[in-house]
C-alpha cells in the first residue's frame, strides 16, 4: 500500500463521486489510490477490505508511548476510529462520503510496545444517513483482545460544485 506524500495525493470530491466507498477502500488496498499518511505516522496499514468489514495491521512503536512507557490511549483510539469508520465507508454509495460523529474505546489490557496487532472494524448498521460499526484490536500472535470500540458515522451526500 502506498501512502500519500502530499495533499495532492489524497482524494478530491470528483474522485469520491466516481466510486462507491467499497471501491474507494479497495483502491487504497490495491495501491491504485494512496492511503492517508496517518497510518505511517501511527504504525498501521490497511490489510483487508470487504463489504462491511475492514482490517488493519500494525505495531505501536516507541513514538506512540505515553510518559509512563505504555502505549498511549490515543493510539488505540486512532486505530479503532480508522478501522470502524473505514468499515462504514465500504457501505457509502457513489456521490457520498462519511465522517465520524462519535466513537468509544474500551482498553481491556495494556498492549506492550512493539506488539503486532490486528484491528478489525465491522458494520452493524448502514442507513441513508448513519452508519454504526464495532471494532477490536487483537494481538496478531496471541489473539488476545487489547481494546474494543464502537462508532457512529454520518453518511452525507457530497456538495455540488
Judged on CB neighbours under 10 Å (0-12, 13-18, 19+), 27 is middle
User: Is the pTM of the predicted complex or chain greater than 0.85?
Assistant: yes
Q: Is the pLDDT of residue 143 over 80?
A: yes
Q: What is the largest CA-CA distance in the chain?
A: 49
CB atoms inside a 10 Å sphere around CB 66: 11
Cβ contacts of 70-73, under 8 Å, gap ≥ 24: 70/110, 70/111, 71/110, 71/111, 71/112, 71/113, 73/105, 73/107
- Please say if the pLDDT value at position 18 is more than 70: yes
- Is residue 9 very low, low, confident or very high in pLDDT (cuts 50, 70, 90)? confident
pLDDT over 80 (residue 1): no
Q: Which residues contact 71 (CB under 8 A, 6 or more apart)?
A: 60, 64, 65, 110, 111, 112, 113
pLDDT at 11: 85
The phi, psi pair for 130, rounded to 5°, reads -140, 155
Burial of 92 from C-beta contacts in 10 A (0-12 / 13-18 / 19+): buried
What the block records as the C-alpha cell of 152 is 457512529
Quick one: average pLDDT of 106-129?
96
List Cα–Cα distances, 118 to 16, 45, 56, 134, in angstroms: 27, 10, 6, 14
pLDDT of 4: 87
Closest CA to 39 of 8, 73, 1: 1
**In order of start, what are the domains of the chain with their CATH numbers?**
7-157 (3.10.129.10)
pLDDT band, residue 124 (cuts 50/70/90): very high
Instruction: Note the pLDDT tens digit of each residue in 75-114.
Output: 999 999 999 999 999 999 999 999 999 999 999 999 999 9
Location of C-alpha cell 497510518: 39
* Residue 161 banded pLDDT, cuts 50, 70, 90: low
Could you read off the pLDDT of 23-81 as tens digits, one per residue? 999 999 999 999 999 999 999 999 999 999 999 999 999 999 999 999 999 999 999 99
Amino acid at each position: 500500500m502506498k501512502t500519500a506524500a502530499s495533499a495532492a495525493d489524497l482524494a478530491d470530491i470528483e474522485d469520491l463521486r466516481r466510486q462507491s466507498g467499497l471501491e474507494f477502500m479497495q483502491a487504497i488496498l490495491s495501491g491504485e489510490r494512496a492511503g492517508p499518511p496517518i497510518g505511517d505516522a501511527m504504525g498501521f496499514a490497511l490489510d483487508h477490505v470487504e463489504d462491511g468489514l475492514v482490517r488493519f495491521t500494525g505495531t505501536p512503536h516507541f513514538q506512540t508511548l505515553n510518559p509512563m512507557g505504555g502505549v498511549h490511549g490515543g493510539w488505540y483510539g486512532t486505530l479503532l476510529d480508522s478501522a470502524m469508520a473505514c468499515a462504514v465507508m465500504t457501505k457509502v454509495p457513489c456521490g457520498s462520503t462519511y465522517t465520524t460523529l462519535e466513537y468509544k474505546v474500551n482498553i481491556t489490557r495494556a498492549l506492550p510496545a512493539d506488539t503486532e496487532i490486528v484491528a478489525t472494524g465491522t458494520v452493524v448498521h448502514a442507513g441513508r444517513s448513519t452508519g454504526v460499526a464495532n471494532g477490536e484490536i487483537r494481538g496478531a500472535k496471541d489473539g488476545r483482545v487489547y481494546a474494543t470500540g464502537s462508532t457512529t458515522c454520518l453518511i452525507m451526500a457530497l456538495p455540488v460544485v
